[in-house]
Amino acid sequence: MKTELSFAALPAIETELLAVLAVDTQTSKAPDAKPEPVLLTTDEAVKSAAAAALASGEFKAAANETLLLHAPAGLAAKRLLIVGLGKQAKATVHTVRNAAGTAVRFAKPRTIRNLVFALPEAEFLPPGPCISASVEGGIIGDLDPDTYRSDRKDLSIHSFTVAAPETSDHEALKAAFAEGVIIGESQNFTRALVNEPGNKLTPTILGHRAAAMAQEVGLRWNVYSTDKLHDLKMGAFWSVSQGSEEPPALIVLRYEPEGVTEGPVLGLVGKGITFDTGGISIKPSEKMELMKYDMAGGAAMLGAMRAIALLKPKVRVIGIVCAAENMPDGKAQKPGDVQTAMPITPDKPGKTIEIINTDAEGRLVLADGITYARQLGATHLIDAATLTGACVVALGITNAGAFSNNDEAYAKFTAALETSGEKFWRLPLGDEYAEQIKSDIADIKNTGGRHGGAITAAEFLKVFAEDTPWIHLDIAGLAWLEDSKPYIAKGPSGVAVRSILEWARSY
């Protein structure tokens, strides 16, 4: 999709579809109070073209509500689409992002290939963040998951233009627009990876895709396999890999900005299980096909690293993705086995892990990934994984889970969410939960029982982070959308890319 920024007057823009935003300014809570939709534009011609429709009461300006007007009088555009942001008090940069996606999703099935999205004009919506969010939303809204359909029709938007007022600061908005393109395309890079079936995206192929991306954007990279895992004594990671015919991939990306030799080194660690059967503790067959998305945490790290490379923050970043298949053949690990994780230093033994459930494999690969990030010099850690169904039970599909051993690091993440608009909820850690993963035969065990499953999984990872400031993101509930939303297709969401990026930029 071609993306452009325009400062032309809205009435003069020739396009198949011009989209403008509206809010409901009604503040009364009376039961009979009627919505009062108002367009977020100062252009009198656009207001005049929409006046009769708004006065009719048909359009209430609810969030992502749409109203289409054909041949709007006084405008060069063939159609005028009004998209609601909801109540004015709740209208934010993030609702603008969704509205842009809604406009694109509205146009696609109607074979509208070119559209212009008018930047909202309102004091409560800052133009710079809104222009970035607008193009992000447009790019995100354009992606569909039907990659392998033989009768697939190209319904993609050919051009998406954001129209800003002529009075705006052109250079600042151009910079914000360019940033939004990078972020939107990086999120879609992640979504495209997560969408791939397990036979089309093995650990090896994921390594190839990561390497190609790294070369394109200027990251240093290495992709290792079985021999490297053995050299590093990554017994936890290898234990997950050993039951598959497909070899594992240890993907390492490095972003080293010119002139930055001191300060923090951020370690981004992602779970990259390209297909998860559960191993010997095999999953039920229902919806097992979705276990291709068990690498969404690793894909989020790759998307974040892509955006970091292009946006060039002044901080060193290491990205690590531990990719494997979890399969139940004769070589697979068994419940009751004891594995030895990677030691942090050669003179210090690795932690021993009793395997209670082979389907708790994500924490095993992350354990060695976290240790390796520390060994490579990471001073601050963040990991992402579709780790536990327990987190989905606890938080549903509205918030993802977050954990941390460091309030300062987590405060930066909280601030990052203000920019990203993504929803994470911090869950507790504590000695009582750590007791649940103590093993009688080894140092720890890989599950802690039914109660507090997302928390005991985080406690497991905390063992390997030790005192290094660390954040764990359990994205199991949000990484895959079961149903389409007005602004994004069903399937992979790309959740966490924006938040990880903003957290990294905060350093």
How far is it, in rounded angstroms, from Cα 107 to Cα 54?
Answer: 21
Proportion of the chain in helix, strand, coil states, percent, rounded to 5: 40, 20, 40
Strands (E), 277-315: none
Instruction: Look up residue 423 and give its two tokens.
Output: 């929803």
C-beta atoms surrounding 334 within 10 Å: 12
What is the edge-to-edge ordering of all strands in the sheet holding 444-445? 338-340, 352-354, 444-445
The alpha carbon torsion through 294, 295, 297, 302 (nearest 10 deg) reads -170
How far is it, in rounded angstroms, from Cα 99 to Cα 446?
Answer: 43
The alpha carbon torsion through 214, 218, 220, 224 (nearest 10 deg) reads 20
The alpha carbon torsion through 99, 100, 103, 108 (nearest 10 deg) reads -130
The reply to whether 505 belongs to the active site is no
The reply to whether 312 belongs to the active site is no
Cβ atoms of residues 343 and 443 within 8 Å: no
> Which of 87, 283, 426, 505 is the catalytic position?
283
Residue 111, phi-psi category: left (phi > 0), alpha (psi -120 to 50), beta (remainder): left
Residue 210, phi-psi category: left (phi > 0), alpha (psi -120 to 50), beta (remainder): alpha
Helix (H) or strand (E) holding 239: helix 235-241
How far is it, in rounded angstroms, from Cα 395 to Cα 397?
Answer: 7
Cβ atoms of residues 316 and 260 within 8 Å: yes
How far is it, in rounded angstroms, from Cα 297 to Cα 320?
Answer: 11
> Which of 105, 363, 412, 462 is the catalytic position?
363
Q: Which residues contact 338 (CB under 8 A, 6 or more apart)?
A: 352, 353, 354, 355, 441, 442
What string of H, E and C letters represents the secondary structure of 405-472? CCHHHHHHHHHHHHHHCCCEEECCCCHHHHHCCECCCCCEECCCCCCCHHHHHHHHHHHHHCCCCEEE
List, by residue number, the catalytic residues: 283, 363
